[in-house]
Structure 1
């Protein structure tokens, strides 16, 4: 999902994609194989990324108006940018991925706050994935501010306040990283400390600890 090598964001978002049951968004079927490929892709498996891109592109032909599918495909397109060595392809995939993420956010419906993907409300998953990706993009794309805003808006939303920290930890980690990059030290400490105390021993807590120690 990030343009460069960003293990922190890959782990944070990958944590949101652990096994999902029958709670996937209506009219949107993501197979177990696709979920497994996504997890491998966020960890840097270029082969899984390519295979998933092909599968999601086919699925997109029949479900073009799904916010969830657009976000998944957009996320994978930015991973394609990460994996290619050719500068013009990096630019092509990165821009296509971010554009599709914008579309995904625009397609969100009220029911996406109820429907879930990987036991996470679709709206939260979509906006967190976009926010975490945008804050990692190179400065030339001018996406940091919009990514940080997405994350803080989600943290201030009723939907996040109603969920346990185990579900929202990735959002807090990304917001903490963004706050640190923006020089907002107190906000960064607040977000990251909440993760460490709320889900001790988790991957997110480990990442939060590393950010606080840096």
Structure 2
């Protein structure tokens, strides 16, 4: 009973933490996630546990569910056994689907959305989903859905007004997906947008290099 009472007190206290503090928590987790996604396998489990803790505190939200699912696909990337790879990726995809369902079912007015990693929360939720879906092997049959998200997201007028420093990576990965889809006209269109914003940005140069490879 004492332990249960202490847990209630702790959760109640955490719920009083200002929103900006919780926003900082997800920013910190995203920083670790980016390192894990870039190949730092040691960070994957840490990120997963921190996301689970945040979800326990705040409840299921589109962004945290999408990041949790993305992290679980990283577990699949790093697993040794083929059946574990499949299990983790499929579980991760289910969580991302849940996050997108929450986003569609409970839309938050654009002006009320927090800014996370430099862009509006709903845009980041869609971008992470699209990048996860399109970077998976074809066998999971999620590429088309991810590419459709890119097409919809990058066509939204408000998205084009977001700071390019915060969206450059989205354009670069969308171009990578467009090249994979053999949709070169769309890839060139997105590259032109990047070059108008900042022709020397590292992500713009990365996108140009993708074309040069072909």
The TM-score, its normalising length taken from structure 1, stands at 0.80
**Change in CA separation of 1:110 and 1:45 when aligned onto 2, cut-off 3 Å:** same
For residues 173-206 of structure 1, the C-alpha deviation after alignment (integer angstroms, 9 at most, x for no partner) is 2221222112121211121232234233333112
**Change in CA separation of 1:67 and 1:48 when aligned onto 2, cut-off 3 Å:** same
Report the Cα distance in structure 1 between the residues aligned to 2:109 and 2:65, rounded to whole angstroms. Answer: 13
In the TM superposition, residue 27 of structure 1 has moved relative to its aligned partner by 6.4
> In the alignment, what sits opposite 1:140?
139
Alpha-carbon contact 2:33-2:47 (below 8 Å) kept: yes
Superposition misfits of 4+ residues, deviation over 4 angstroms: 26-29
Pick from 105, 108, 118 the counterpart of residue 111 of structure 1. Answer: 108
Q: Give runs of aligned pairs for residues 200-211 of structure 1, distance below 5 A.
A: 200-211=199-210
**Change in CA separation of 1:155 and 1:78 when aligned onto 2, cut-off 3 Å:** same
Q: Give runs of aligned pairs for residues 61-76 of structure 1, distance below 5 A.
A: 61-76=56-71
Higher relative contact order (CA 8 A, sep 6+): 1
The TM-score, its normalising length taken from structure 2, stands at 0.80
> In the alignment, what sits opposite 1:90?
85
> In the alignment, what sits opposite 2:186?
187
| Root mean square deviation of aligned Cα | 2.3
For residues 82-112 of structure 1, the C-alpha deviation after alignment (integer angstroms, 9 at most, x for no partner) is 1111111111111111111111111124326
The residue matched to 1:85 in structure 2 has which SS?
coil
The residue matched to 1:77 in structure 2 has which SS?
helix
For residues 131-170 of structure 1, the C-alpha deviation after alignment (integer angstroms, 9 at most, x for no partner) is 1111111111111110000011011113213323333222
**Change in CA separation of 1:71 and 1:28 when aligned onto 2, cut-off 3 Å:** farther
Which is helix-richer, 1 or 2? 2
Alpha-carbon contact 2:118-2:163 (below 8 Å) kept: no
For residues 63-89 of structure 1, the C-alpha deviation after alignment (integer angstroms, 9 at most, x for no partner) is 332111101111111111111111111
The aligned length equals 192
Alpha-carbon contact 1:101-1:130 (below 8 Å) kept: yes
Report the Cα distance in structure 1 between the residues aligned to 2:59 and 2:49, rounded to whole angstroms. Answer: 15
Which structure would you say has the larger Rg? Answer: 2
**Change in CA separation of 1:43 and 1:28 when aligned onto 2, cut-off 3 Å:** same
The residue matched to 2:135 in structure 1 has which SS?
coil
Pick from 51, 59, 62 the counterpart of residue 56 of structure 1. Answer: 51
> In the alignment, what sits opposite 1:169?
168
